[in-house]
Chain A
Amino acid sequence: MSLPVEVMVGAVRGGTSILYAALGETVSERAGVINLGTEGCMLVGALTGYAVTASTGNPWVGVIAGAGAGALLALVHAVLVLSRGANQLATGLVVLFLGLGLTSLFGAAYVGRSINAFTPIAIPGLSSIPGLGDIFFNHDPLTYLSYLAGPAVWWFLYRSRPGLIMRAAGERQEVLAAYGHSPLRTRYLAVIGGGALAGIGGAQLSTAYANAWFENMTQGRGFIAVALVIFAAWHPLRAVGGAYLFGAALALSPALQARGYGFNQFALDAIPYLVTIGVLVVLGRKRAHAAPEGLKKVFEMTGA
């Protein structure tokens, strides 16, 4: 495999979990709530997905359970932020550490256990296209599903009625309230849905990507997802692109090492984060106007 193809295969493989989490965070932020605990939602999704797959033998059941776990942790965030008026940023961090602690505690038993994980399925015909076949059509089912997730979230936000209500909740909740919709309910649903998507992302990591559980296995992917949402200007399709960009940066380090460019392990490992920082520096200011109005009030918001 040539280096570009190898990196792009890695982009899709490594980017998929971030893609789900970034889409989830896009929905949540579009409705006006930042969930810095996305990382925690991914972690509980990863462990729950792994554990349920281990006990049922069916990774699909595992993924659904993982989505549920992510949603449940996001619900904690939603209750604290929306019903108790807690600060969103602080609460998000609390949710992250809650997820990290819970998964460390209950995950110890699963370290080193093997499960009936998802296996790559080569799509007949398509997978033999040179280059593209390896990049897109030789993956696990959750990756194939992720190809639909971006457009689906886009359709939901921009073409459906509930999506319109969600965007309005993130922009001007008082307008929404004036027409008999409940901004509170809408935001709850968005945060919970966002958590479920992050949970799926986490489950993809443990049941399809690494086929293993270990402590803090997301390694900051949840935070990358939150950053991506901003870099994507709160647009789901751009978030997909960003996830793959980060996946590519993740894949670059091992690919370079395999080719003998191992000049400094730590420098190589830092590439994905440097790429993220670089992208934010370049795009940071320009897209400011795209931010949902409600997000700009995060600091002064006391519930909804």
Chain B
Amino acid sequence: MSLLTEPVTAPTIEGEPLLAVRDLTVRFGEVVANDSVNFEVRAGEVHALLGENGAGKSTLMKLIYGVNKPDSGELHFAGAPVRIDSPATARKLGIGMVFQDLRLVPALTVAENVALALPLKGIRLDRAKLARDIAEAADHFGLACDPSALVRHLSIGERQRVEILKVLMAGAKLVILDEPTSVLAPQEVDALFAGLRQLRARGLSVVIITHKLHEAREIADRVSVLRGGRMVMVGADPTAYDDRALIEAMVGRTVPALPASRPAPRSGAGTALELHGVSSRGDGGHLALHDVNLTIASGELVGVAGVSGNGQLELYEVALGLRSLEAGRVIVAGTDLAGGGPRAAIEAGGVGIPEDPVADAVVPGLSVAEHMALADLKGVRKGLGIDWAKVRSRMAALDERTGLRMAPQARRVAELSGGNIQRVILTRALGSDAKLVVAAYPSRGLDVATTRRTQELLLERRAAGAGVLVISEDVDELLELSDRILVLHAGRVAGIVRPAETDRYAIGELMLKGAP
């Protein structure tokens, strides 16, 4: 590869940006996604771009990568004005993007995935040369990987490394990473950051999109903040601001912290969930849960940490009777589900917030009100029909109680955004008087304020005496919320720890390596 033999030269003099965005505006219909945005990235810097969901971060990055087109404004790259009308143009200029849903084909090997991304010609695929080039690039950039490994067999962290390597081998001088840490264990985040520092040392530029403030402060030389499509902070020194100031820049107001001290779970209040020796198979037929034992007391919040795909999904389903058991017993609020399926779990007082509400919890053609009725058809029965007035008054009460600002009742769910669908599901689950709340990634896709409100609601359920199980990728969130944290590794309980007696690295160790 020619790019490996040429030294990477900083193309501009000190202070002159590698990439400059001037007065860029993008509209999607009525919505102004980017409103005369100015932004710049210097050669050899790591630049963090902060902002809430929907603030326009992805829009801006897609503009730079040629996926979106600006309505007005200019882009300069390496000192010259450029028009980037497609990702191919961006790649040719030396701009690479690592998307959150990595652009990898799991069924293919690392080398084959790299080959897809390179502008190769000819019929024959020179596998030996490809493997050599990958090894060389891996060595050069300090991103070790095995060219012949199937991507399917790699961990998320390893896949991300392959993706970054791929982008670099295609000749990128500027690498944009979209929320790269959201699915990584703390140790993997460290490894990623070590890799990014290597790139910086070689004169490459990195833009990292994130909403985790401590990460921005750790890795970034400079930080910019987008809010509502406008840049509210440009190229600032991240160490000069504390969390409060950065959150205020992102959200536009202060977000209250969670209450730091909480009453301990009452003893003798009974149990909300008991898992005894639970084993269960995943969709692929493999044993996804292996002899899991867990008891959640009423009024207790237990977090579940783990690298995605280590049995969290199956744990969620088992707890709510959605997945059959291979062995063991599941007891919800004193009632043994005994193979009674989801109906038994619901009748025992269990509710769930699924990982992917759009796919698993809504019927797109039905309205918001119809969803509410669907959750409790018995409670709103009127003869053979449904008492819609009752449904509406209940919904208004739930909305009031949760403060989640659910979409209007008559709207069809198909018309709602992912975040608004999540609000409907959250309102339904957290407004109820359930004895057990099982939440899988409850804050995914929500803005900062709604995430905080959701966390408060989970704690309110806990305070009201419900047992709460929260599955999350965000170890910091779990440390903040949980009474205890269960770490899953390869379907087994790697450990159950108390937040006060551990830290995110100890949890990361369990996530990556299992029980000591």
Contacts and interface: CB of A to CB of B under 8 A. Distances in A.
B403 interface: no
A4 interface: no
A163 B112 CA distance: 11
Nearest to A176: B116
Main secondary structure of the interface of B (DSSP, over half): loop
Nearest to A291: B107
B334 interface: no
Contact of B124 (A159, A167, A292): A159
B263 interface: no
B116 A181 contact: yes
B87 A178 contact: yes
A159 B120 CA distance: 14
Interface stretch (B98-106, B184-192, B337-345, B442-450): B98-106
B283 to A, nearest CB: 9
Contact of B117 (A160, A179, A285, A292): A179
A172 B105 contact: yes
B88 interface: yes
B107 A164 contact: no
Contacts of B7: none
Contacts of B125: 159-161, 163-164
A288 B286 CA distance: 12
B93 interface: no
Contacts of A162: 123
B124 A175 contact: no
Q: Which of B105, B121, B123 has the most CB of A within 10 A?
A: B105
Main secondary structure of the interface of A (DSSP, over half): helix
Interface in B117-134: 117, 119-125, 127
Nearest to B152: A289
A161 B125 CA distance: 5
B259 interface: no
B112 A171 contact: no
Nearest to B166: A179
A44 interface: no
A161 B108 contact: no
B105 A168 contact: yes
Interface in A178-221: 178-181
Contacts of A181: 116
A285 B285 contact: yes
A22 to B, nearest CB: 20
B116 A171 contact: no
A293 interface: yes
A203 B124 CA distance: 30
Interface string B77-89: 0000000000110
A172 B103 CA distance: 9
A168 B112 CA distance: 9
Given A160-B125, A180-B88, A292 B115 contact: no
Contacts of A289: 284
Interface string A148-166: 0000000000011111110
B117 A168 contact: no
Contact of A175 (B87, B104, B284, B285): B104
Contacts of A168: 105, 108, 112, 116
Contacts of A285: 285
B105 to A, nearest CB: 5
Interface in A244-291: 285, 288-289
B124 A179 contact: no
Given A172-B105, A176-B116, A161 B123 contact: yes
B122 A161 contact: yes
Contacts of A178: 87, 103
Contacts of B105: 167-168, 171-172, 175
Interface string A52-67: 0000000000000000
Contacts of B108: 164, 167-168, 171
Nearest to B118: A179
Nearest to B119: A180
Contacts of B127: 159
B92 to A, nearest CB: 10
A35 B228 CA distance: 48
B104 A161 contact: no
A288 B103 CA distance: 23
A161 B285 contact: no
Contacts of A160: 123-125
Contacts of A293: 106-107
A167 to B, nearest CB: 7
A151 to B, nearest CB: 15
Interface in A23-38: none
B32 to A, nearest CB: 27
A164 B123 contact: no
B124 A171 contact: no
Contacts of A171: 105-108
Contacts of B104: 172, 175
B100 to A, nearest CB: 13
Contacts of B122: 161
B107 A179 contact: no
Nearest to B124: A160
Contacts of A176: 116
Nearest to B286: A289
B124 A164 contact: no
A158 B123 CA distance: 12
A289 B106 CA distance: 11
A179 B116 contact: yes
B396 to A, nearest CB: 36
A176 B116 CA distance: 7
Nearest to B107: A171
Nearest to A173: B105
A159 B285 CA distance: 31
Contact of A167 (B88, B107, B120, B284): B107
A161 B284 contact: no
A261 B107 CA distance: 48
A292 B123 contact: no
Contact of A161 (B103, B117, B124): B124
B74 to A, nearest CB: 25
Contacts of B123: 160-162
10 contacts: A159-B124, A161-B120, A161-B122, A171-B107, A174-B103, A175-B104, A178-B87, A178-B103, A179-B116, A180-B88
Interface of B: 87-88, 103-108, 112, 115-117, 119-125, 127, 284-285
Given A159-B124, A171-B107, 4 more contacts: A160-B125, A178-B87, A181-B116, A293-B107
Task: Give the top 3 A-B pairs by smallest Cβ distance, nearest first.
Answer: A171-B105, A161-B125, A172-B105
